[in-house]
Amino acid sequence: MNTQRLPAEWEPQDAIFLAWPHKGTDWNLSEVLPLYEALVSLICDYADVVVAIANDDIEPVRARLEAMDIPLEYVYFYPVETTSTWTRYYGPLCVQTESGMKLLDFTFNASSLSRLPELDNQISKKLYALNAFPSADFETLEFVLEGSAIETDGQGTLLINSASLLTKNHNQNPSNTEVDTQLKQLLGAQKIYWLHSGYLAGDNAEGHIDKLVRFCPNNTIVYTACDDDRDEHYVELKKMERELVSMTNSEGVPYRLLPLPWPGEIYGNQDQRLPGSYASFLIVNEAVLVPTYDALSDEDALEVIAQAFPGYEIFGIPSLSLIEQRGSLHAITMQLPEGVLFSC
């Protein structure tokens, strides 16, 4: 019997893993660095922060955060070179085993998400060598998988968008059955659902599930919905909704479904449509950080998330600077569950 289990994101966490933006990344640093600073400040109220950062940037960033009265005893800097700050794509996935937590270092090879994917593919290994994950085991895998391509309820059900994983770039064009077998073995999944509908124009990640559908506590799912029948997304997201209605958890119980509001059309500096999605939120222990887009629907989105996470503190995080690079809040973060940094 497989005893490995992929925890849900709302289970207890030790830390959040970030990679610090630098001039070698695609970010507009004047816009994105204040967001990262604010993010660290907020996360520190709920969890520690593990930061992969260029060696020359450590002291300036430390000084900046200290000047903001951020408690640096909760922030761990590791001198690791990065070319992308999308840590959800290449960061390790953590499974619970009989002997404790184990980090699974899947292969990252997506050139559309990183200038040098082979370098970013080494980040988790370098962090482990620097003792960034002192209480967890570590395993490197040849299987190609980005963390934002899967969602779990922590109780044996996985959700995947077929457009993001069944591609030539992933494991020599595998079938659903082959991927199912691998993920059931590695992540302890009992049931895997493949979505065949749903996308966001401008998405940089071939339809990663975390921009479309998210599991929440109490057998709840929130999902991106479009109520504008003139919008190009309307038909596809309605199809996706119908797929979700048919889903049940590992015990055969239907999920409670909560639609997220549609932020409308958002265009960037190049007059290209951007993938605004409220589904790209981050859970940090007792808090949920929700991307906002200076849209009329922002407050409605926060209310829906509050319904899905009763008792949690809900924060809106201005994220227009993130979707300019075709990603959002969840993609620049990766949770490290309890037992990775500190022994349980």
Q: Answer whether residue 344 is part of any domain.
A: no
Q: Answer whether residue 3 is part of any domain.
A: no
SS3 66: helix
Q: Could you give phi then psi for residue 279, rounded to 5 degrees?
A: -70, -15
Domain residues for 230?
13-337
Q: In what order do the strands lie in the sheet with 93-97?
A: 93-97, 100-107, 137-144
Rounded to two decimals, what is the model's pTM? 0.96
Would you state the structure tokens that stand for residue 183, as one six-digit string? 């993920």
Q: Answer whether residue 1 is part of any domain.
A: no
Q: Answer whether residue 79 is part of any domain.
A: yes
The alpha carbon of residue 183 and the mean position of all alpha carbons in its chain are separated, in whole angstroms, by 18
Start-to-end C-alpha separation, the chain: 24
* Cα gap 136→95, rounded to integer Å: 10
Do the beta carbons of residue 218 and residue 175 sit within 8 Å? no
Give pLDDT, residue 166: 65
SS3 120: helix
Q: Answer whether residue 245 is part of any domain.
A: yes
Which CATH number fits the domain that encloses residue 34? 3.75.10.10
* Cα gap 225→222, rounded to integer Å: 9
Q: Answer whether residue 61 is part of any domain.
A: yes
Domain count, the chain: 1
Amino acid identity of 323? I
Q: Answer whether residue 24 is part of any domain.
A: yes
Q: Answer whether residue 205 is part of any domain.
A: yes
Amino acid identity of 231? D
What tens-digit pLDDT sequence spans the chain (344 residues)?
568 999 999 999 999 999 999 998 889 999 999 999 999 999 999 999 999 999 999 999 999 999 999 999 999 999 999 999 999 999 999 999 999 999 999 999 887 778 889 999 999 999 999 999 999 999 999 999 999 999 999 999 999 988 777 665 666 666 778 888 989 999 999 999 999 999 999 887 667 899 999 999 999 999 999 999 999 999 999 999 999 999 999 999 999 999 999 999 999 887 889 999 999 999 999 999 999 999 999 999 999 999 999 999 999 999 999 999 989 999 999 999 999 999 86
